Amino acid sequence: MTKTWVTPGGVHPPENKHQSLTQPIGHLPIPAKLVIPLSQHIGAPASPCVEIGQQVLKGQVIAEATGVVSIPMHAPSSGTISAIEHRPIAHPSGMLAPCIEITTDGADTWIEHQGISDYEHIAPRKLIEMVGNAGISGMGGAGFPAAVKLNPGRQRPIHTLIINATECEPYITADDSAIRERAGEIIEGIKILSAILDHPHNILIGIEDNKPEAIAALAPHVEGTGISVVDFPTKYPSGGEKQLIYILTGKELPSGKLPADLGMVCINIGTTYAIKRAVINGEPLISRVTTVTGDAVATPRNYDTLIGTPVSHLLEHNQFNEQAGGRVVMGGPMMGFTLPSADVPIVKTTNCILAPSYAEIPDDEPAQPCIRCGMCAEACPVSLLPQQLFWYAQAQDHDRLEAHNLFDCIECGACSYVCPSNIPLVQYYRAAKGEIRHARDEKVKSDHARERFEFHQARIEEAEREKEAKRAARREAAQQAKASPMAANDSTAGSSAADIIAAAQARAAAKQVSPQEQRAKLERTIAATEQRLQVAEEKLAEAVASQSDKQAVFSAAVENTKQKLEQSKSKLAELAE
């Protein structure tokens, strides 16, 4: 048995996984509309490369990656592009973001595609390119582009590949069911990863001991491959990169460092399956396994769901009982968030739609004052001081929050879960992180603005110096001309004085505005003055109607504007003569 280590903190919330594991992974009818957000990952959003009205095939690129840290988007089914616009996306605030809508044709016709089976003979660079072109981002966390993760650079050779098969949130069984049914393809994906990373010495699949069926499903496929399935006691949370690396290797990932800095790469098991489909089958990432569960749905189970499927479509096909449950959560009860609307689409990171009944997950109790019990600190898997972070977040003390490593918080919610005062601690941390990021962005913007201003000032000063130098040269030339009384008659000095006079006349001529320009300027002035007169007359009429004491002010303004208008008109008439 492989040695494992125990992380600090953690909790044991009651499990509710069995409900969604009674049936195999299902498939839903293709929705009439699919909505694909252009940003489902960390990094730059994809840029649309289709037009409204265009026919697209399943798997066709509809938006291209826009940088190194970006991924393309593909059509999850065939149909017609019916909108490219901002739509509500899965976010606690109900925010809008750019999306592409496809009206499906029901035929589900694939674009021509082809994979490769002899990946061992393909250059890693080419395999990484295939992963990138397939639009694969991490499917278990924040959605980091997989191709970037698989390219740690020559200076950071990878000796350990960790496959994250933990699924510690109560209720979620998407990875568990995928391993039970797709173990062979997952192991094939791990072999591709091994080839890309130049065959690391250790390949470890980390999985909790509450998934015996999944562990048994992996066993025959890993035999003789050098891949180890490492199970460890179930505890929430264990699925963060930092926690899993510690559990499997005993190595601590320092704050601000990446697993690659320790010679490790950590990939989610769902992502591993997507990599197999991309390389061997030539398929982009257009669907994922999503758990639909909770007492408010009639048939909790896992579905192979097309990206872009509205959450409402999943609920309708599971006889969602709105009376039994008031809210729909994206993710699990610990780290998920309540959706403001069920019209948002499933994205590449959506592992669960939870529709609990009121009895199952009651509404949050009102928060009480902190009693300084310290239970939150005991539960924190990152050894932070949640109580202190809470105070600093309330005080918006950003410096102290950063000094207390707020950004190491993985937002697992273990502290909120144990808090006897029902303080929604993790919500304070999320909000504080948002404020700090916003403040940093604003600082960058103001630094840029200051640099632009200083550059502009320097240019003005430089131009002023040049002008002053020219003025000094002209003064000197004029004094020289004055100093010689015969200058005008002297053939040599005369030419210098004549030159100065000619240059001055040329400058004066250059400054003169042509009649056409004068006319255009006057016409613009007349139009603007007429507008001002209209506004002033309206205000005067209002003041008269309401017998306001401002009548005199507006009447003077009207007279004044009329005079200016007359002056401009008469100047224009003079010019015409």
What dihedral angle (degrees, nearest 10) is formed by the CA atoms of 432, 438, 440, 441?
160
Asked whether position 266 contacts ligand SF4 by CB under 6 A, the answer is: no
From 109-117, 265-273, 422-430, 563-571, give the range in contact with ligand SF4 by CB under 6 A.
422-430
Asked whether position 67 contacts ligand SF4 by CB under 6 A, the answer is: no
Contact, 163 vs 267, CB < 8 A?
Answer: yes
Asked whether position 415 contacts ligand SF4 by CB under 6 A, the answer is: yes
Show the DSSP H helices in 123-204 as ranges: 124-133, 146-149, 174-196
Residue 429 CB, nearest distance to ligand SF4 (Å)?
A: 6
Closest residue by Cα to residue 425 from 476, 400, 389: 389
Q: Determine the Cα–Cα distance for residues 9 and 265; give it in Å rounded to an integer.
A: 24
Residue 421 CB, nearest distance to ligand SF4 (Å)?
A: 4
Asked whether position 334 contacts ligand SF4 by CB under 6 A, the answer is: no
Q: Can you say whether the dihedral through the CA atoms of 123, 125, 126, 127 is positive or negative?
A: positive
Residue 425 CB, nearest distance to ligand SF4 (Å)?
A: 6
Residue 11 CB, nearest distance to ligand SF4 (Å)?
A: 9
As a residue count, the chain comes to 577
Q: Determine the Cα–Cα distance for residues 134 and 274; give it in Å rounded to an integer.
A: 9
Find the helix or strand (DSSP H, E) in which 296 lies.
none
> How many chain residues are in contact with ligand SF4, going by CB under 6 A?
30
Asked whether position 536 contacts ligand SF4 by CB under 6 A, the answer is: no
Instruction: Give backbone dihedrals phi and psi of 353, rounded to 5 degrees, phi first.
Output: -120, 115
Residue closer to ligand SF4, measured from CB, 49 or 370: 370
Residue closer to ligand SF4, measured from CB, 18 or 372: 372
Asked whether position 79 contacts ligand SF4 by CB under 6 A, the answer is: no
Q: Which residues pair with 304 in a beta bridge?
A: 289
From 33-41, 244-252, 266-274, 406-414, give the range in contact with ligand SF4 by CB under 6 A.
406-414
Mutual orientation of helices 491-511 and 425-483 as an angle, nearest 10°?
140
Contact, 236 vs 380, CB < 8 A?
Answer: no
Asked whether position 409 contacts ligand SF4 by CB under 6 A, the answer is: yes
Asked whether position 81 contacts ligand SF4 by CB under 6 A, the answer is: no
Contact, 66 vs 46, CB < 8 A?
Answer: yes
Asked whether position 431 contacts ligand SF4 by CB under 6 A, the answer is: no
Q: Determine the Cα–Cα distance for residues 209 and 423; give it in Å rounded to an integer.
A: 31
Asked whether position 267 contacts ligand SF4 by CB under 6 A, the answer is: no
Among 73, 174, 346, 423, binds ligand SF4 (CB under 6 A): 423
Among 412, 536, 540, 557, binds ligand SF4 (CB under 6 A): 412
Asked whether position 333 contacts ligand SF4 by CB under 6 A, the answer is: no
Q: Binding pattern to ligand SF4, positions 365-394, x when CB under 6 A?
A: -----xxxxxxx--xxxx-x-xx--x----
Closest residue by Cα to residue 172 from 216, 228, 237, 242: 237
Rule CB under 6 A: which residues touch ligand SF4?
Answer: 370-376, 379-382, 384, 386-387, 390, 409-415, 418-421, 423, 425-426, 429
